[in-house]
Structure 1
Amino acid sequence: MLRRLSFAIALATASMAGHAETPVAGKTDLVSLYEDAVANSSDLAAARASADARKEGVPQARAGLLPQLGAGANYNDVHTDFDKSTTSNTDRSSLVYQANLTQPLFRADRWFQLQAAEAVSEQAGLEFSATAQNLILQTAEGYFAVLQAEDNLAATTAEEAAFKRQLDQARERFEVGLSDKTDVLEAQAGYDTARANRLNAANVVENALQALTRLTGKFYDQLVGMGHELPVKPPVPNDAKQWVDTALAQNLNLRASNFGVDAAGENLRQQKSGHLPTLDAVASYSQGDNDGFGLNSGIAGSATAQTSVGLQLSVPLYTGGLTSSKVREATYQLDQSEQSRESLRRQVVQNTRDQHRAVNNDIEQIQARRQTIISNQSAVEANEIGYQVGTRNIVDVLNAQRALYNSVRDYNNARYNYILNNLRLKQTAGTLSPDDLQALQQWLKRDYDAKKDFLPADLAEAGKL
């Protein structure tokens, strides 16, 4: 799975774009938007920096098991005054150079610290991969939110135009005495509502575009639309249990939590090892004059060298209860990590089943909403004819039109939900990758125009929308 995210991770290391928001000319497709998001996402860059920082714990912990070498020098200038007049005062100086080498031989706490650091490093890498994977979904959600808003705006605009025609017709009928003033007022109210809805839909489009700017730091005027030819198929395999099994094995956040538990376990072992002795091999070499070593060879300033090699054993006997307290603290932290993992595991199972069910429900919804449009088109025609002959009133016609355009919006909402719920299912299962965006890319239509393509061509022609 990590290899499948290599494209995202590689791009994440690229230089961040400038802070100024830059406009993008022409129509932007899904993959291009994703590349912009990876290159410019501040959240992804922050996650990468956080992961890199946490991975530094490994060399830091390993350093505690490696030799420690230090060097130094010591210079002293001593002036001595004697009380007896028979002895003259003296001035003596000393300079000593020293090197010390320490090699840990038995340091259980440092070994467990290294094991914990390695687990934290793995956890950090998986959490970064989860952030990179989430960016795939964020990109798709932002992209299709714009397309959905544009389709809804187109449908709402068409609804406003239909209500305007109904208002004009009501006025004409009133002027020739075929209807009363009530019909005009009802039609006016319907038109005013449709106009307000259209203004609100236009604002939703702008908000969706602004969300893309936050994601990438760029302005987008137009996106390539999604054609109605996209195949609507059940997930493969269409078995919730298999998806749950995959999620339990591959969900990135769940895998990261496993390493979190491992790190907490190693931390507990590290704290328990505070009761154990430590053993180091130590060596030192010193060179200077005899005064620096406190020796009296009779000759001031004579050269002297000392070498020592040995073992240093330390046995902790009593630390005021500090070690025991740290063990209890680490035990609680391990329990917290295990309980958090279990909670996440249950959430992953629930989300996987919910998303699998949602995808199948979306398929049924798309088919049902399509049929609803056909039925509502017939209802509008029947009510308009009935209104002409006097068997239906204006309210019946307006309600039929309102139901028709609601069904159009529901249809478009269902088809975009199908796309996104498929991606959410794959993310929960831990299999979502940039390849999934590439697969959707082939169904985008550069000549898609929401104003006339918000419905499939056959339904638009049949209903004259």
Structure 2
Amino acid sequence: MMLAAASVGAAQAQSITQALTAAYDHAPDLQSALLSAKSSAEGIAQAQSRKLPTIGASIAGNQQFSLIGGNWNTPSSITTGISYNQTIFDNYRTEAQIEAARAAAEVAEYQIRNTEQNVLLSVVQAYMSVLTDRQLVALREENIQFFQAQLQSARDRLEVGEGTRIDVAQAEARLAQGQASYRASVSSLEVSQATFQRYVGARPQNLSPGHNYAKLIPAGLETAIAEAEVGHPAILMSKAAIRAAQAGSDAAEAAFGPTATINGQVGSRWSGTSGLMSQDGLSGQVGFQVTVPLYAGGALGSSVRKANLDQVKTEVDAMAAYDRVREAVITAWAGIQSAEAQIQAAQAAVAAGSTVLEGVVQERDLGTRTTLDVLNSQAELTSAREGLINASTNKVIATFSLLSAMGRLTASDLGLPVVVKSAVNYTQTVDDVWQELRTVAD
């Protein structure tokens, strides 16, 4: 029976990798970022369309009827035609707009990677929160059992005249405090499990803090900062935003230049009566137009100034992104170092506290210590054990926070068994501006 129970528990075990994998497929924020990237990619096709021709076909019919002098007349006509319009030169404004659209699509793609990191880090935090709260619930439940045993012991000693009512009262007070702490930890666990389910899409099962992702962390802080400055999606997104703003500025300046367009159309007309139709002929025309803006009420100058300000703003935002990423790397690195020191201190405190508690209990039984001494020793040991649990959790979270700060908390870097969400293929598809014409032809 015990082997069967162990087998069931193992089957329900849920590693950090499994939670991250489930969350990656489930996360609405990530799906929203993907859809935003696809929508942004459509801007490329829309920009390219401004330098390509628009071709249309038309057909129109007309049916008349009249009764004159007893004669019934039903003249009819059908007209067909093809039209062509194209901007052949716009002072390279369209080229600048295409570049801006491509850069905007890159920004949206990097936003997917940035959202991916935020989602996966939130999953780790929720995972460790559940694991920590479960450990605290078990610890405080054990604490209650200890206080119950001490209360019963104090009552027994009081009955035989070896204890006092003060010992009983103190034990009762500590038991009440332990029960309150237990209920608080249970409530915290319920909240943590709800948060976990929101991210992962399923309730947490048997969790374990073990993982092998620490191997992705470099040996030194400077190396970690260098990797972050090169590959963090927030920095790459800032660089793409600068390119988009520069192209927007070029497009605004190009609006002052000339624009040349050509147009043409050709068509035929059939007419007749009583269902007998004959072609009247073939007609067509070709034209061109050149326009040069002279004055637009200040709109053109304002557009240039606004575009230039936007460009400067993106450069300032990029510098701020560098600072934020660097700060995040240093903070996470320091968090790992601090957590390791706290773990060592907490382990020593737990070992010492266990020894002290055993000694105080023995001395209490010999009459040289009081029940209060035992209760205080238990409280100190419990505090040390809680500190060890929290420090261990902090180290795991700091490890993943560092990966996120370096830009490496992605499905690809972690080797998650998922299809990586990306709009790159979609962008390549919409970049084919002639597909619309081929679709019509098919």
- State whether structure 2 residue 190 is matched by structure 1 residue 206: yes
CA shift digits 1:53-86 (9 cap, x unpaired): 111111111111212112335678999xxxxxxx
Q: TM-score, normalised by structure 2?
A: 0.81
Q: Is the 8 A contact 1:31 1:438 kept in 2?
A: no
CA shift digits 1:254-281 (9 cap, x unpaired): 2112212211221121112111111223
Alignment of 1:181-192 (within 5 A): 181-192=165-176
Match of residue 41 from structure 2: 55
- State whether structure 2 residue 396 is matched by structure 1 residue 412: no
Paired residue secondary structure (2:332): helix
Mark the CA change 1:119 to 1:338 in structure 2 (over 3 Å): closer, same or farther: same
Q: Is the 8 A contact 2:114 2:234 kept in 1?
A: yes
Over the aligned positions, Cα root-mean-square deviation in angstroms equals 3.2
| Further displaced range: 386-395 or 62-71 | 386-395
Match of residue 108 from structure 2: 124
Match of residue 269 from structure 2: 288
Q: Is the 8 A contact 1:163 1:191 kept in 2?
A: yes
Q: Is the 8 A contact 1:234 1:360 kept in 2?
A: no
Match of residue 460 from structure 1: none
- State whether structure 2 residue 344 is matched by structure 1 residue 367: yes
**Pick aligned residue for 1:40 from 26, 34, 37:** 26
**Pick aligned residue for 1:350 from 314, 323, 327:** 327
Paired residue secondary structure (2:52): coil
Paired residue secondary structure (2:12): strand
| Further displaced range: 385-394 or 278-287 | 385-394
Paired residue secondary structure (1:219): coil
CA shift digits 1:369-419 (9 cap, x unpaired): 101111111222233234334443333221211110111111111112111
- State whether structure 2 residue 89 is matched by structure 1 residue 106: yes
Cα displacement (A) at 1:148: 1.3
Task: Give the unaligned 5+ runs of structure 2.
Answer: 1-10, 66-73, 272-277, 417-442
Paired residue secondary structure (2:87): strand
Q: TM-score, normalised by structure 1?
A: 0.77
Match of residue 247 from structure 1: 228
Q: What is the rounded CA distance, in whole Å, between the counterparts of 1:240 and 1:335 in structure 2?
A: 31
**Pick aligned residue for 1:163 from 147, 150, 160:** 147
Match of residue 225 from structure 1: 208
Q: What is the rounded CA distance, in whole Å, between the counterparts of 1:318 and 1:414 in structure 2?
A: 68
**Pick aligned residue for 1:376 from 347, 353, 358:** 353
- State whether structure 2 residue 310 is matched by structure 1 residue 333: yes
Cα displacement (A) at 1:353: 0.5
Match of residue 13 from structure 1: none
Q: What is the rounded CA distance, in whole Å, between the counterparts of 2:93 and 2:31 in structure 1?
A: 34
Q: What is the rounded CA distance, in whole Å, between the counterparts of 1:119 and 1:110 in structure 2?
A: 14
Task: Give the unaligned 5+ runs of structure 1.
Answer: 1-24, 80-90, 291-300, 440-465
Q: What is the rounded CA distance, in whole Å, between the counterparts of 1:121 and 1:235 in structure 2?
A: 29
Paired residue secondary structure (1:308): strand
Paired residue secondary structure (1:99): strand
Q: What is the rounded CA distance, in whole Å, between the counterparts of 1:104 and 1:382 in structure 2?
A: 93
Q: What is the rounded CA distance, in whole Å, between the counterparts of 2:43 and 2:294 in structure 1?
A: 29
Paired residue secondary structure (2:203): strand
Match of residue 71 from structure 1: 57
How many equivalent pairs are there? 396
Q: Is the 8 A contact 1:362 1:414 kept in 2?
A: yes
Paired residue secondary structure (1:158): helix
Q: What is the rounded CA distance, in whole Å, between the counterparts of 1:403 and 1:56 in structure 2?
A: 62
Match of residue 462 from structure 1: none
Q: What is the rounded CA distance, in whole Å, between the counterparts of 2:201 and 2:370 in structure 1?
A: 52
- State whether structure 2 residue 405 is matched by structure 1 residue 421: no
**Pick aligned residue for 1:97 from 63, 80, 83:** 80
Match of residue 425 from structure 2: none
Alignment of 1:232-311 (within 5 A): 236-288=217-269, 303-311=280-288
CA shift digits 1:132-175 (9 cap, x unpaired): 23332222222222111111111111111111111111112222
Paired residue secondary structure (1:303): strand
Q: What is the rounded CA distance, in whole Å, between the counterparts of 2:188 and 2:415 in structure 1?
A: 27
Q: What is the rounded CA distance, in whole Å, between the counterparts of 1:414 and 1:106 in structure 2?
A: 66
Cα displacement (A) at 1:333: 2.3
Cα displacement (A) at 1:123: 0.9
Q: What is the rounded CA distance, in whole Å, between the counterparts of 1:68 and 1:438 in structure 2?
A: 47
Mark the CA change 1:436 to 1:406 in structure 2 (over 3 Å): closer, same or farther: farther
Q: What is the rounded CA distance, in whole Å, between the counterparts of 1:199 and 1:45 in structure 2?
A: 37
